């Protein structure tokens, strides 16, 4: 496994590779790796000649300084995990390597996909995501790029960016990996105590109950039920719960089987945000 810190070193290596290998799979991450990240790398390894992972905590996608400062950093362990699954190349650039002196995001128009959920609760978040993923795609020029459905809104936004920029990249969405109690794996889970992690199983339990309820209840009733689950909850605050169309991410008021729909939730615990989503299929 090769580890590169500079764009120059990575590009030299990629140039050599591209003369003999045909497909490059790419998995961008912010590190603090867990099995969810590793599943994306495994998927890439199955379908590409070479797999590249990047580890970069992107400052422009954080709207709160504290969140950026507290984000878990476990680079040494990340590299061991990546080596163990035989990732071919890891790119671990510094901030100045990718942003020069100006650490600012560009503005993107994702046709409204960015307007609700994470977009409305984390100001500028998706401009930051778009900025960094575009930079990374331009450097790595992957054949296939792998993103988790856990961040479903992000996945759809990346697809939109690829479409609008005519990038020759196939974006592959991968299923959410979960802890045994159903909690979606996340780097932020490292900031929770054992007890809090245990209690956080409520998020996925609620999503599963929501799917069941869509058979007999209206979306208004379901929303109220979800909101009641968190009222006076000793640990968690509900930030949002919506049911939206998968393609447009527009909130819906009626369950429909014609266009795929998903339930999305975000809760906070001690200022740590946990998000999850589930497909609604009957
Ligand atoms: P992050 O390091 O949080 O930016 O995540 C890097 C990639 O891993 C993103 O495409 C995430 O959607 C994906 N990812 C994060 N958690 C999971 C999970 N539990 N299952 C599958 N993919 C995930």
Catalytic amino acids?
Answer: 37
**Ligand 1 atom nearest to 178, measured from its CA:** 19
The pLDDT value given to residue 169 = 98
Say how many Å lie between the CA of residue 166 and the centre of ligand 1. 24
Pick the CATH number of 187-274 from 1.20.1260.10, 3.30.1300.10, 3.40.50.300, 3.10.290.10: 3.30.1300.10
**Probe target for ligand 1 pocket from 33, 40, 187, with the most ligand atoms within 8 Å of CB:** 40
Residue 239 Cβ inside 6 Å of ligand 1? The answer reads: no
Say how many Å lie between the CA of residue 263 and the centre of ligand 1. 18
Is 20's pLDDT higher than 90? no
Q: How confident is the model at residue 107 (pLDDT cuts 50, 70, 90)?
A: very high
DSSP codes of every residue in 109-160:
--TTTTSSTHHHHSTTHHHHHHHHHHHHHHHH--SEEEEEGGGHHHHHHHHH
Strands of the chain (E only): list them: 2-4, 24-29, 50-55, 89-91, 144-148, 170-174, 237-245, 261-269, 272-280
Q: How confident is the model at residue 22 (pLDDT cuts 50, 70, 90)?
A: confident
Domain positions in the chain: 2-174, 187-274
Say how many Å lie between the CA of residue 101 and the centre of ligand 1. 28
Percent of the chain with pLDDT over 70: 100
Q: Which CATH superfamily is domain 2-174 in?
A: HUPs (3.40.50.620)
Q: How confident is the model at residue 281 (pLDDT cuts 50, 70, 90)?
A: confident
Residue 150 Cβ inside 6 Å of ligand 1? The answer reads: yes
């Amino acid at each position: 496994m090769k580890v590169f810190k500079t764009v120059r070193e990575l590009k030299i290596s990629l140039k050599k590779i591209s003369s003999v290998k045909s497909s490059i799979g790419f998995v961008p991450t912010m590190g603090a790796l867990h099995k969810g990240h590793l599943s994306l790398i495994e998927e890439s390894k199955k379908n590409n000649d070479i797999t590249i992972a990047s580890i970069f905590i992107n400052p422009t996608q954080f709207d709160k300084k504290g969140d950026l400062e507290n984000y878990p950093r476990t680079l040494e362990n990340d590299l061991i995990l990546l080596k163990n699954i035989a990732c071919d190349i890891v790119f671990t650039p510094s901030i100045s390597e990718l942003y020069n002196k100006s650490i600012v995001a560009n503005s993107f128009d994702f046709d409204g996909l960015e307007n609700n959920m994470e977009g409305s609760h984390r100001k500028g978040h998706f401009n930051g995501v778009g900025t960094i993923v575009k930079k990374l795609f331009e450097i790595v020029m992957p054949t296939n790029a792998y993103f988790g459905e856990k961040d479903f809104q992000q996945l759809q936004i990346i697809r939109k960016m690829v479409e609008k920029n005519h990038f020759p990249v196939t974006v592959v969405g991968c299923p959410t990996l979960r802890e045994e109690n159903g909690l979606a794996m996340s780097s932020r889970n490292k900031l929770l105590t054992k007890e809090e992690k245990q209690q956080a199983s409520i998020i996925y339990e609620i999503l599963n109950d929501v799917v069941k309820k869509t058979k007999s209840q209206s979306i208004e009733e379901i929303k109220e039920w979800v909101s009641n689950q968190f009222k006076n909850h000793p640990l968690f605050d509900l930030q949002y719960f919506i049911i939206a169309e998968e393609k447009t991410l527009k909130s819906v008021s009626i369950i429909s089987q014609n266009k795929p729909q998903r339930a999305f939730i975000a809760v906070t615990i001690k200022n740590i945000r946990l998000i999850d989503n589930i497909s609604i299929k009957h």
